[in-house]
Amino acid sequence: MTDLTHTPSPDHSNTVVLAHGGGGQLTDQLVAQSVLPRLTNDVLADLLDAAVVDAGPGRLALTIDGYVVQPLEFPGGDIGRLAISGTVNDLAVSGAAPAAIALGLILEEGLDRAVLDRVMDSIGRAADEAGVRVVTGDTKVVGRGQADGMYITTAGVGFVSGEPPHPGRVRAGDVLILNGPIADHGLAVMLAREMPEVRSVLRSDVAPLNRLIAKVLERTDGVRFMRDPTRSGVAGVVADLAERTGLRIVLEQEAVPLRPETNHAAEMLGLDPLEVANEGKVIIVADPAAAAEILAVLRDDPLGAGAAVVGRVEAADAPLAELHTAIGGRRIIQKPYGEQLPRIC
Amino acid sequence: MTRRSIDMAEVLDRLNTAAAAIDRTVTLMEICGTHTVAAFRCGLHSLMPQNVRLLSGPGCPVCVTSQSDIDMMVALGSLEGVIVCTYGDMIRVPGATGSLETARSQGAQVRVVYSAMDAVQFAAEHRDRQVVFAAVGFETTTPATAAAVVEADRRKLDNFTILTSHKLVVPAIKALLDGGDVSLDGFLCPGHVSVIIGAEAYRPIVHEYHMRCVIAGFETLGMAAGLTRLTEQVRDGQVLLENMYPQAVTSEGNRVAQELIARVFEPATVAWRALGEIPESGLVLRPQYHQFDAQRRFNLAAPDSPDPEGCLCGQVITGRATPHDCGLFGTACTPIHPIGPCMVSFEGTCQAWFKYRRPAEPASAGGRS
């Protein structure tokens, strides 16, 4: 008997199929259609087994990060912008000028090619913003249910000239500077993922910060250490800094930039904004004498318009990160423990 | 200085003035996990007068859920074809045989939801699976569970059930006072629960037990104002019910929500962690909704699960001990490796102490006594 109700086989022009990861003609086609036009540059276009790039001055910095965010597209960004910004920022806060990026894609069978194309567009735009090139890459496809749409891994290299910022350079008396309002990324993504029916004005802050940071390093003196407060938020960075330096880090709650709508969302979900992820923020620990200059450079750039001095480093018998609260109270700040879990009521 | 901090300064000034006029320690109890964590996050404890102590009561839903209820959730999650939907902060609570989180890592189907209705929707979309919603919480979350059961009934879903651990606030307060172990001067009553049950629900506590009750919201200022009023009542020899959250809480509460609860649930004697069985303190499904009862559907008997050995969570949530009295606190029991529920829930007293309390603060309960 003929089965008249057969389901059509997936159309590889609209949908990612397993064969797209097979390394054959279909892989070539996917790369040619979806990847190359969006990330075009002469090194990538060679499609050789390894990219060969010119070395910059100074020492080499190397970093790698995996990106598994859900949803793939969220208000203010997507997994592609995140993958470029995250890796660029890791290099930048280490004092390195990003030079090249390697891009690994793991696609789930059945992924809509339009989504892939939009993400690749976004990668291209973010790389342009950062002024870095994606010079090599890899694409694999896994079966349905074995991945969540797509995962991205980006590795980046950069070059550090001069003395890199390091926690060992932090001294009592230093100040902490933040380039703008916190917690927007984590809350925008969480609301998009868990409460898609809620219409929210929150937008992720995801952005490459290397140009901003380069300006600060070029035009000012006195940056001791930098860190991007990503997954464990500002709390994670200051708690870690206290531990590494053995000093007391004091954060002034009133001084930490936070949008009212973000604060409201955090309150609704029972989350502490200090523990929520950022993807376009940097904490700069600096010599207090340089603070005004650093603030001026930051505020002159849209990515640093909300910059503020948010805390200071003090001598201490034992390492401690502490919050001076808006009402004049004090409490300690610890690294968050893991998954951010909204409360029951 | 912002407007808010000026108001705060005034409130704290009143609190200090009232406390200074009292020549003994005033012991107040907040009975809501949200108050517990809000107080610690804003550093309120560090601003309390020396002679005002703030204890945490049995108001964190995770913390009062009995060990046997948690074991049943874990057991359900491990059944073939069953998906347990739960609020996020339940998944790490360890039962006798592990937590939902460890069960999930071993293949159990556990899904974090934000509302009971999400679980109903999920059941509607997965008719080949049995979806069990772990229904936990006080009167704040109960109306949502009731609405979910009504909706599942309307949609004739035969793959949706709830494992109910819903509890009622006022019977718990009464049981605490009946126990007689804790000497208290008054309660800071929870804002959210009171929106549903209404301010008058606390009247028997004031009349029959001669205990002060002040309802406060969760903003720092509201909480501080509530604590100030309680302390002023002590100074002035008053015992009153006061509603400091009138913008949200009415005398009679939310009638629609109350009726919805009454339509689906009926009061029953249930087990609380540490407090044991309390008459009429929990809610179970009415007979006409028994088809949505997971315990009946899966023929589960509540296991006899003792509280973890050495764990003082039970005494902590009844104000009889502080986390520092517990030999496990901060050593064997930490947020990364929690033994008792008060360390798991981020609204739990132990986690709040561990996480926010400055080392310099003395080991008294909350405030500096």
Per residue in B145-174, pLDDT (tens digit) is 999 999 999 999 999 999 999 999 999 999
Contacts for B254 with CB less than 8 Å, ≥ 6 apart: B143, B195, B196, B198
Q: Which H or E run includes A27?
A: helix A25-30
pLDDT in tens, B38-65: 898 889 988 999 999 999 888 888 888 8
Q: How many domains, in total, are found in chain A? A: 2
User: Model-level pTM?
Assistant: 0.84
pLDDT in tens, B296-313: 999 988 888 777 889 998
**Domain membership flag for residue A171:** yes
**Domain membership flag for residue A9:** no
- pLDDT reading at A84 higher than 60: yes
Q: Which of A322, A338, A339 sits opposite B358 (nearest CB)?
A: A322
- Same domain flag for A148 and A192: no
Domain CATH for A70: 3.30.1330.10
- Same domain flag for A234 and A266: yes
- Same domain flag for A121 and A184: no
Instruction: Please identify, among A140, A160, A180, the residue that sits at the C-terminal boundary of a domain.
Output: A160
**Domain membership flag for residue A141:** yes
ipTM higher than threshold 0.85:
no
- Same domain flag for A313 and A269: yes
Q: Scanning the structure block, which residue is given the tokens 């045989």?
A: B97
Could you tell me which chain B residue has the CA closest to the CA of A341? B88
Average pLDDT of the residues in A145-157? 96
Could you tell me the two tokens for A255?
Answer: 């001084």
**Domain membership flag for residue A217:** yes
- DSSP states of A97-120: EEEEEEEEEEEETT-BHHHHHHHH
Instruction: Please identify, among A130, A160, A190, the residue that sits at the C-terminal boundary of a domain.
Output: A160
| B1 — pLDDT class (breaks 50, 70, 90) | very low
Q: Which H or E run includes A79?
A: helix A79-93
Among residues B4, B5, B28, B1, the alpha carbon closest in space to that of B229 is found at B28
- Same domain flag for A201 and A327: yes
- Same domain flag for A107 and A244: no
Q: Which amino acid is at A153?
A: T
**Domain membership flag for residue A8:** no
CB–CB contacts below 8 A, A to B = 106
B284: three-class secondary structure by DSSP? strand
| CA of residue A333 relative to chain centroid, distance | 22
The C-alpha R_g of chain B, in whole angstroms, comes to 21
- Same domain flag for A78 and A40: yes
Average pLDDT of the residues in A129-136? 96
A326–B5 CB contact, under 8 Å: yes
Q: Scanning the structure block, which residue is given the tokens 């001791």?
A: A224
Query: Is A201 exposed, middle or buried (CB count within 10 Å of its CB: 0-12, 13-18, 19+)?
Result: exposed
- Same domain flag for A291 and A152: no
List CB contacts (< 8 A) between B336 and chain A: 337-338
- Same domain flag for A154 and A178: no
DSSP letter (8 states) at residue A317: S
Instruction: Please identify, among A137, A160, A183, the residue that sits at the C-terminal boundary of a domain.
Output: A160
Say how far apart CA B274 and CA B283 lie, in whole Å: 18
A177: three-class secondary structure by DSSP? strand
Could you tell me the two tokens for A334?
Answer: 């610890």
- Same domain flag for A220 and A295: yes
Say how far apart CA A300 and CA B186 lie, in whole Å: 54
**Domain membership flag for residue A5:** no
A95: three-class secondary structure by DSSP? coil
Average pLDDT of the residues in A38-48? 88
Other residues' Cβ atoms within 10 Å of the Cβ of residue A114: 11
Say how far apart CA A96 and CA A65 lie, in whole Å: 16
| CA of residue A135 relative to chain centroid, distance | 20
- pLDDT reading at B177 higher than 70: yes
Other residues' Cβ atoms within 10 Å of the Cβ of residue A36: 16
- Look at B93 and A105; give whichever has higher pLDDT: A105
Q: Which of A327, A332, A337 sits opposite B5 (nearest CB)?
A: A327
d(CA A195, nearest CA chain B) in Å = 8
Interface test with B, best of A198, A327, A341 (most B CBs within 10 A): A327
Among residues A44, A313, A41, the alpha carbon closest in space to that of A177 is found at A313
CB burial string B189-203: b at 16+ within 10 A, e below: bbbbbbbbbbbebbe
pLDDT in tens, A217-274: 999 999 999 999 999 999 999 999 999 999 999 999 999 999 999 999 998 888 899 9
The C-alpha R_g of chain A, in whole angstroms, comes to 22
**Domain membership flag for residue A326:** yes
Among residues A280, A304, A253, A255, the alpha carbon closest in space to that of A188 is found at A280
- Same domain flag for A150 and A266: no
- Same domain flag for A244 and A287: yes
Q: Which of B2, B33, B89 sits opposite A341 (nearest CB)?
A: B89
**Domain membership flag for residue A189:** yes
Other residues' Cβ atoms within 10 Å of the Cβ of residue B109: 21
Say how far apart CA A258 and CA A253 lie, in whole Å: 10
Say how far apart CA B135 and CA B149 lie, in whole Å: 11
User: What are the respective helix, strand and coil percentages of chain A, to the nearest 5?
Assistant: 35, 25, 40
Q: Which domain holds residue A119?
A: 18-160
A255: three-class secondary structure by DSSP? helix
Domain CATH for A245: 3.90.650.10
